[in-house]
Amino acid sequence: MVRKNLATVEKARQAIEVLKGRLREDAEGQIKHLELYEKRIKELKGKMKQEAKADDDMSKLQTIAGVGPIVAYAFVAHVGDGSRFSKGAQVSNYIGFVPRLDYSGTIRRHGHITKRGNGYLRGLLVQAAWCMVRSRMGGCLKERFVYITKYQGKSKKKTIVSIARRMTELMYSVLRDKSKYEVRPWKIPLNNPAEMAKLAMSA
């Protein structure tokens, strides 16, 4: 019995048809608990969507491609209105998107992200970033992703984390400025070696 066969209550009911006796009774009891959990989750998601639609800050966050009601709700619940932060980099650091710095003598290396913040929110933002780069309205962050992965040959998984970090800072800006997001094209820094080096390090 594989995990995908237990993904929903309906699939779980079909999967336990092969069981008999006490095993069948135990499985049916667990399915009843699962039904209650799924009902409660559905109710909570409905309430979250209603609140995200009615709340002005959450509505503005949803003007960003990839950001839906659940992501907006989680972001505002964890970050607030952004007033306790002075810049977007502090927010991405708070969530755990900032890479570790490893020093060896005079050499500084960027390691993996710290993951010191809320793992659930960080995961939601990464998924939102994937939605953004696949959206027609992805704007400058989508173009940045395509440029880094296609023309610089960087890993898509690593690049999407950097896009999620920049999305986090963008969401903070929307909350801070109380304004809707406007899609803008990205200016590729082809004639600026310093910017190109900075771009490669940030990916």
Residue 50 lies in a domain: no
Residue 177 lies in a domain: yes
Please state whether the predicted TM-score (pTM) of the whole model is above 0.85. no
Instruction: Convert the pLDDT of each residue in 23-44 to its tens digit.
Output: 888 878 888 888 888 889 889 8
Residue 49 lies in a domain: no
How far apart, in whole angstroms, are the C-alpha atoms of residue 42 and residue 76?
A: 20
Give the per-residue pLDDT at 133.
95
Range of the domain at 137: 57-202
Torsion of CA 86, 52, 130, 174, to 10 degrees: -30
Same domain, 100 and 178: yes
Residue position matching structure tokens 């290396």: 109
Domains in the chain, number: 2
Instruction: Convert the pLDDT of each residue in 137-187 to its tens digit.
Output: 999 999 999 989 988 888 999 999 999 999 999 999 999 999 899 888 777
How far apart, in whole angstroms, are the C-alpha atoms of residue 189 and residue 4?
A: 45
Same domain, 173 and 97: yes
Same domain, 28 and 103: no
Residue type, 187: K
- Closest among 81, 100, 82 to 91, alpha carbons compared: 82
